[in-house]
Amino acid sequence: MPGEATRVGSERVKAAILDGAPECVVAMDDRGRILAFNRAAERTFGYAAEEAMGAELSELILPPEGREPLVPRPDLSVEGTGETIELTAARKDGSTFPVEATVVRVSDIEPAIYAGYLRDITDRKRTEARALKQSRAIADLAQARGELVSQLMLAEERTRSRIAQVLHDDALQRLLAAHQDLLEAAPGREGATRALHALEGTIERVREAVAALHPVTHQQGDLRTALSAIVRQHATRGGFRYTVRVEPDASGLEDELVLSAAQELVNNVAKHASASRCSVSVERHGDSINLEVADDGVGIPEGRQESALREGHIGLASTVQRMKAIGGDGEVSSTVGKGTAVRASIPISAKASEAPPGADPPIV
């Protein structure tokens, strides 16, 4: 009969489409019992279609441990996009692998019929695992780099401090003693006067060197005291007025790194800015300490920072890169004729954050 032939032909077309699908397709009823099992599913799970027919899908393809029934949700509709989940599936031989399953309703008559589209996502999971491993390795390298740069900055600061201390305790004291001896031994003599002038000039140079290396040697106090000493020394040399503001909760955490960065930035103002005013502020924002050094000087022409780097003058660029290397940030904003502002963000280390509130370590 023509109608019967058409129906048979239609069934064959459906079977051909089902078996030709590259992914596993399983048809099931509302209780999760298998009604169709295509060839991709046979190859993937190791069961012949005849074995699978009538079995509950969850018992056939899920490992015994932690098995939950794979029953289609009753609220799925033909017009809906279905439900997609990831699960661990098992082959006939017991081997397991990750699967992404999408279940859709394919008929709006009762009893309902559902189709499950099952995709082996082993390769995708391996790629994701490799990407995660690589991202963790990169993060570990970045953290190690930041810690090394931070240690380098602290080592530089402590080295300057030790050199300054030796100069102050030894060379400068010897010069002062010689100056006093010369005053007492040959007062008023022409040669002694010249020697005294030479000694006084040398003493002043040594004092300047001590201040430049570590301007707060032999002082103990909070961050504002130390920072003010740095700015005052450079303000005298650069001929500018200054203000220093340190929020209380920013002190006592990363003082050495703040002082090291401030030393470079304020020295840059004194050397290049031709400023009349300079402001220095330190604030805490969450897990970081923010340092800003701003001046009203000549500003930086566009492209000057890049050309300075090519010429070997690292200055501001070095400070910004150091902040980024330790996990912080830095930026320079400047307008020619109006001044420059440099903002540096220094992350608070776990060790520093564990210090008691208000506990300022000695700054030497």
What is the model's pLDDT at position 7? 43
Q: How confident is the model at residue 357 (pLDDT cuts 50, 70, 90)?
A: very low
Given a cut of 70, whether residue 355 has pLDDT beyond it is no
243 forms beta bridges with: 279
> So what's the pLDDT on residue 95?
93
- Look at residue 48 and tell me whether its pLDDT is greater than 50: yes
User: Averaged over 292-317, what is the pLDDT?
Assistant: 69
Highest-scoring range by mean pLDDT, 44-58, 228-242, 306-320: 44-58
Identify the pLDDT of residue 292: 93
Q: What pLDDT, on the 0 to 100 scale, is given for residue 290?
A: 92
The CATH number of 215-364 is 3.30.565.10
The more confident residue out of 273 and 167 is 273
* 318-335 average pLDDT score: 78
pLDDT at 362 over 50: no
pLDDT reading at 163 higher than 60: yes
The residue ranges of every structural domain in the chain are: 2-120, 123-214, 215-364
Q: 188-203: per-residue pLDDT in tens?
A: 666 677 777 777 778 7
pLDDT at 87 over 60: yes
Q: How confident is the model at residue 12 (pLDDT cuts 50, 70, 90)?
A: low
**112-131, pLDDT tens digit by residue?**
888 889 999 999 999 888 88
Position 59 pLDDT exceeds 50: yes
- The domain made up of 2-120 has a fold known as Beta-Lactamase (3.30.450)
pLDDT at 348: 83
Mean pLDDT, all residues of the chain = 77
Q: What would the pLDDT profile of 173-193 be if each residue is shown by its tens digit? A: 777 777 777 666 766 666 677
pLDDT tier, 2 (very low <50, low <70, confident <90, very high otherwise) = very low
Dihedral sign (CA 128, 134, 139, 140): positive
